[in-house]
Amino acid sequence: MIKLMEAIQSLFLGILQGLTEFLPVSSSGHLVIAQWILGFDLGEGILFEVSVHFATMFAILIFYKNEVKALAIGAVSANHDSLCYIGKLIIGTLPAVAVALLAKSWIEQQFELPGVTGLCLLVTGGIVWSTRYTIKKGIRLEPTYLEAFLIGCAQAIAIMPGISRSGSTVGVALALGLSPMAAAKFSFLLGVIAITGAGILLLPELTTVSGLLVQNIVLGVGSALISGLIALWLFVWLLQKQRFHLFAWYAWAVGITTLIAVFIAK
C-alpha cells in the first residue's frame, strides 16, 4: 500500500511539474507546496525536483527540435550567427552557475520553507503582470550579449522556489525589447543548459539514492515529460494571444493562500 501511494504521489508531482514548468507560476514552488500540504517525502526533495526538470528539458528539445538542430549544424560548420547565439546562451547561463556553486546549501534549505515559496510567488505575480505592458512592444529576434546576461540574472534569481524561471526570463526579455516568440525561444534554450548543469552537480548524490526512490523518479519523469509538452504548447499559445499576464492573478492567489496556511500552521 505504501509503495502504491508513493507511486501515485510521484505521478502527481510529475504531472504538476510538467504543467507548471512552462507556465509562469513556478514549478519548484508548486512542488514545495504540494509536498508540504500532502505531507509526504520522496527522499531528497531537490533531487526529485531536478529529475523531473530533466524530463521537461527533453520536452524543450522536442518542441524546439528544429531550432536545436539548426544551432548544432551551425556550430559544427562554424556559422557566425549560430556561434553568436550559442555564445549568448552560455553568457546567460553564468549567473545561475555562480549562484548554484556559491549558495547551493542555502538554496536547498529554502526548499524546506513553504513561507519563502509563498513570498516568492507574489514576486512572480508582479513580474508576470509587467508583461501586460511590454509584450506588444518587443520586435527584436535576438538579445545582445549584455541583454543575454541580464536574462541570465533573472534565471539565477528563479533558482528560488516560487520564482518562475519562465516567467522571470521571458518577462525580462520582453522588457528588453524581444518579440514574444524570440523571448520564449531564448528562455527555454537557456533553460536546457541550466537544467543540465543542475543535474551534473547532483550526480554524486545519486550513489545514496535508494531503489524505491529511483522507481518514484522514473514515474515522475515520465508524467512530467508528457504534461510538459502540453504545457509548452499552451505557453507559446498564450504568448501569441497576449494573455500571458493573466497568470499573475493565479500566482498571487497561490502565494497569499500559502502564506495564510503557513501562518495558521504555526
Q: Are 207 and 38 in contact (CB under 8 A)?
A: no
Q: Are 83 and 145 in contact (CB under 8 A)?
A: no
The whole-number pLDDT of residue 42 equals 47
**Tens-place pLDDT, residues 9-54:** 778 777 877 887 788 888 777 777 777 776 655 444 556 666 777 7
The whole-number pLDDT of residue 146 equals 95
99-103, 177-181, 256-260: least confidently modelled range: 99-103
115-119, 134-138, 176-180: least confidently modelled range: 134-138
Distance CA 168, CA 159 (A): 11
What is the share, in percent, of the chain residues with pLDDT greater than 90? 25
Query: Residue 263 — pLDDT band, cuts 50, 70, 90?
Result: confident
The whole-number pLDDT of residue 103 equals 79
The whole-number pLDDT of residue 129 equals 93
What is the share, in percent, of the chain residues with pLDDT greater than 70? 86
**Tens-place pLDDT, residues 227-237:** 888 888 888 88
Mean pLDDT for 149-172 is 91
Which grid coordinates are listed for 243? Answer: 494573455
The whole-number pLDDT of residue 202 equals 61
What pTM does this model have?
0.82
Q: Are 195 and 53 in contact (CB under 8 A)?
A: yes
Distance CA 131, CA 244 (A): 7
The whole-number pLDDT of residue 238 equals 84
Query: Residue 151 — pLDDT band, cuts 50, 70, 90?
Result: very high
Residue 103: exposure state from Cβ atoms within 10 A (0-12, 13-18, ≥19): middle
Taking 80 as the threshold, does the pLDDT of residue 79 lie above it?
Answer: yes
Which grid coordinates are listed for 130? Answer: 509587467
Give the alpha-carbon dihedral of 96, 98, 100, 102, to 10 degrees.
Answer: -150
**Tens-place pLDDT, residues 199-229:** 666 666 555 555 556 677 788 788 888 888 8
- The three-state secondary structure class of 201 is helix
C-alpha distances (whole Å) from 125 to each of 128, 150, 169, 228, 254 are 5, 19, 13, 21, 10
